[in-house]
Chain A
Amino acid sequence: MGLWNTIATRVGYGLLLLVAVLILNFTLISIAPGDIADTIAGGMGGADAEVMEEIRTRYGLDQPFYVQLWRYLSRVALFDLGYSYFYNTPVTTLILEKLPATLLLVFSAQILAVITGTLLGVLAAKKPNGALSLTVTFLSLFGFAAPVFWTGILLIILFVSIFPIFPVAGMVDVTIEGGFFVQALDVLHHLALPMVTLASIFLALYSRLARASMLEVLGADYVRTARAKGVPERTVLYKHALKNALGPVVTVAGLQFSAVISGAVVVEAVFSWPGLGTLALQSILARDTPTIMGILFFSSLVVILVNILTDITLRLIDPRIKSG
């Protein structure tokens, strides 16, 4: 009962946030210098005032701001994000084509970072002054300070000239033929370096967090009780303590999700990964505003969905958490 209420509230609130994102995007584009007519005229190699006027009428640019905004919102409600003049394709089609690649990169990196980060943190918490704890401290400093593209480029240099075992660009090798399994393996092979690069930023953060919250939990009374009654140390660590230490990690991982998407934009550029980030960069350079707005919309949608999932996960991990 309570869970469903929370979900309903979160979904309703998420919809409001999405509308706010759309309004902000639309306002920004309206106040920016230049409009779609300029872009189209530019693409045609210039147009006279009469043609410009015609284009503006055709795209409804002669209407007042709120009419344009209302039309835009009602079109988006039907998942019609407009038409890309640059790619000659509906924006929704364009984005849905590129979205899976980005989702694969973002989720695999996030999962890798959460799992390895938590494990490292737990192992480090066993010995708060041990070598592994020191490693976690160093990792977290490195993860914050190293620019993600720099890490990526260093990996490229390393894996091109020293260990040429991973491909450093693209997502598929077109020369490879075979069934689904072979193709999937090829994608995973290409995924390795971008995934590790993107995970490196967040792995550091999660390991530090997991270490801190494990240390706190390990000092709790119930852990002492479990140890006193002879529960094996492994069970104490991974069952009793970890379950309670996981909360902060999951919370932060959810909050970080929009940062992971931002990181993915850069990582995609480094490794020529054919996802939304690459599309965003190309359409920004081409001033293809409908596509840019569509990408902002979809990425905010993904972040909102992930936030809702995080809330649900948190409640499943710890039933004491009430909504909010």
Chain B
Amino acid sequence: MAESAATPEAADQEPLELKITHPLSEMATMFFRNYAAVAGLLLLIFIILLTFVGPYIHTTDPFEMVWAPFTEPGQEGFLFGTDYLGRDILAAMMVGGQVSMAIGLAAAIISVVIGVTVGAFAGYYGGVIEEALMRFTEFFQVLPTLLFSMVIVALFGASLLTVTLAIGVVSWTAVARVTRSEFLRIRELEYVAAARSGSARDGYLIFRVILPNALPPIIVQANLMVGSAILFEAALSFLGLSDPNTMSWGQVIGSNRPYILDAGFAVAIPGFAIFLTVLAISLIGDGLNDALNPKLRQR
């Protein structure tokens, strides 16, 4: 990232002043040059504001029956209509969005922590440890993830905690692979050898020397994990395997599923919200990818 530290024109006019940009601000410039990514970011901020500030403005209780069931969107003052119990869908969407996004974020954090740990140790130590850890990863790739987390949720009860854990423990394999390949590459570089010759310990080398330099692709992957965890939670709720006392987007879809032919909007609207959120996240992911790996830009 140091190659564009000075611009020739600036050097011509003011010979003694070099324009040095901080890598982070350079990254931000790259990111904001990508219109799709900026649109994604704005969309995500909008959705977050709507779900976290909205309930203070639109104070209807999402669990309370307020009108006749299946009121069409826009009628009787219900922007998104009412569901099969006559509950306000707009209120459910706002409160449910908080839960969906919180579960998505928490599950993604769990899977990133597991994935980075497994990948880092495999890539750093190599040999038998790498072999064992990668076999372990492959094992989790063989299990059909949704089926496996359905089983976990069914066995240990559907609560926010079990659903989050069930998603987190099955979706870390991609992070582990990315982390391992970055570690394999970076551990051979000179600055790692330099740190090693200064008798740095393994823990220091892994977490303070290599990991910070391995972060860019991990960040991109982690960002995508949030999106897929939101989708995952929605699928579990859709199947009726989420905490029935917690509103989430998937929960709205799952509880209205039997009535799709009478009231398609009650399912289509929350589905669209999930779609927009995940779309925004993946647009941001593309932008981050370009901004963090300038060398990989042409694809």
Contacts and interface: CB of A to CB of B under 8 A. Distances in A.
Contacts of A96: none
Interface string B246-273: 0000000100010011001001100110
Interface string A120-132: 0000000000000
Given A28-B152, A157-B264, A269-B239, A147 B271 contact: yes
A299 B142 CA distance: 9
Nearest to B256: A153
Nearest to B241: A284
Between A263, A284, A292, the greatest number of chain B beta carbons within 10 A of the residue's beta carbon is seen for A284
A153 B279 CA distance: 19
Interface of A: prevailing SS: helix
B227 interface: yes
A32 B156 contact: yes
B235 interface: yes
Contacts of A284: 150-151, 154, 241
B144 A17 contact: no
A125 B12 CA distance: 43
Interface in A250-278: 255, 258-259, 261-263, 265-266, 269, 277
B147 A262 contact: yes
B275 A145 contact: yes
A269 B148 CA distance: 16
A30 B267 CA distance: 37
Contacts of B217: none
A20 interface: yes
Most buried by B among A147, A160, A263: A147
Interface of B: 138-139, 141-148, 150-152, 154-157, 227, 231, 234-235, 238-241, 253, 257, 260-261, 264, 267-268, 271-272, 274-276, 278-279, 282-283, 299
Contact of A296 (B151, B231, B241, B260): B151
Contact of A150 (B145, B154, B275): B275
Contact of A153 (B145, B151, B241, B267): B267
Contacts of A29: 155
A146 B151 contact: no
A183 interface: no
A258 B275 CA distance: 22
B145 A292 contact: no
Top 9 A-B pairs, shortest CB-CB distance: A150-B271, A262-B146, A32-B155, A145-B278, A145-B279, A284-B154, A261-B144, A157-B264, A258-B144
Interface of A: 17, 20-21, 25, 28-29, 32-33, 141-142, 144-150, 153-154, 156-157, 160-161, 212, 215, 255, 258-259, 261-263, 265-266, 269, 277, 280-281, 284-285, 287, 292, 295-296, 299-300, 303-304, 307
B142 A303 contact: yes
Contacts of A266: 146, 235, 238-239
Contacts of A299: 144, 147
Given A157-B260, A265-B146, A148 B235 contact: yes
A147 B156 contact: no
A150 B144 contact: no
A304 B139 CA distance: 10
Contact of A149 (B145, B152, B238, B278): B238
18 contacts: A21-B142, A21-B143, A25-B151, A28-B152, A149-B271, A150-B253, A157-B261, A215-B299, A258-B143, A262-B145, A265-B146, A266-B239, A280-B150, A284-B151, A285-B240, A287-B154, A299-B147, A300-B144
A161 B283 CA distance: 33
Contact of B260 (A141, A156, A261): A156
A157 B234 CA distance: 20
Contacts of A303: 142-144
Nearest to A158: B264
A104 to B, nearest CB: 17
Given A145-B227, A153-B264, A265-B150, 6 more contacts: A142-B279, A144-B278, A149-B238, A161-B261, A280-B147, A284-B154
A144 B261 CA distance: 26
Given A17-B142, A150-B272, A28 B154 contact: no
A300 B141 CA distance: 10
A284 B146 CA distance: 13
Contacts of B261: 156-157, 160-161
Contacts of B260: 153, 156-157
A154 B275 CA distance: 13
A307 B142 contact: yes
A212 B139 CA distance: 29
A144 B227 contact: yes
B142 A300 contact: yes
B267 A150 contact: yes
Contacts of A296: 143-144, 147-148, 151
A147 B138 contact: no
Contacts of B238: 147, 149, 266, 269
A285 B145 CA distance: 18
A266 B149 CA distance: 13
A141 B281 CA distance: 10
A148 B141 CA distance: 20
B115 to A, nearest CB: 16
A29 B151 CA distance: 9
A106 B150 CA distance: 19
A20 B139 CA distance: 8
Nearest to B281: A145
Contacts of B279: 141-142, 145
